[in-house]
Amino acid sequence: MKTRRFVNPSQPQTLYIATFLLYFNAAFGLLFGNSPLFFFGFLPGLVLTVGMAGSGYGIANEKRWGYLLGVGTAGLSLVPFGAYVISNGLGSLFQLALLMSLVFPVALFVLLVHPMSRQYQRVWFS
């Protein structure tokens, strides 16, 4: 019998931590509505937030669609920061508030595209 799980401790720690970050980003986006994903508007932000939760579930159950959805939503969560830097100039990269708000989205994206995560999903995900 195949089990369904929300986290998978047998995965490499990069994917394991990325799964938690996907769930946390989705939960904070739904609870507070201040996720960077809501930069695109309410409905696209809601869809992307639900996509993050779904990708966490897909990664925990070793589904390739979950990994691809996670990389996509993590990449899209960086777009508002790029738009802010483009509109305000490169000097805005050194603002402490921007740097602090970039920590989790960048960490999530880096964890998902890390070579260990990519190799594991290439071999084990269906």
Average pLDDT for 81-106: 88
pLDDT of residue 43: 82
pLDDT of residue 8: 93
DSSP assignment of 23-61 equals HHHHHHHHHHS--GGGGG-HHHHHHHHHHHHHHHHHHHT
What three-state secondary structure class fits 72?
helix
Q: Does residue 107 register a pLDDT over 60?
A: yes
Residue 76, number of CB atoms within 10 A of its CB: 20
Mean confidence (pLDDT) of the chain: 90
More confident: 26 or 35? 26
pLDDT band at residue 36, thresholds of 50, 70 and 90?
Answer: low
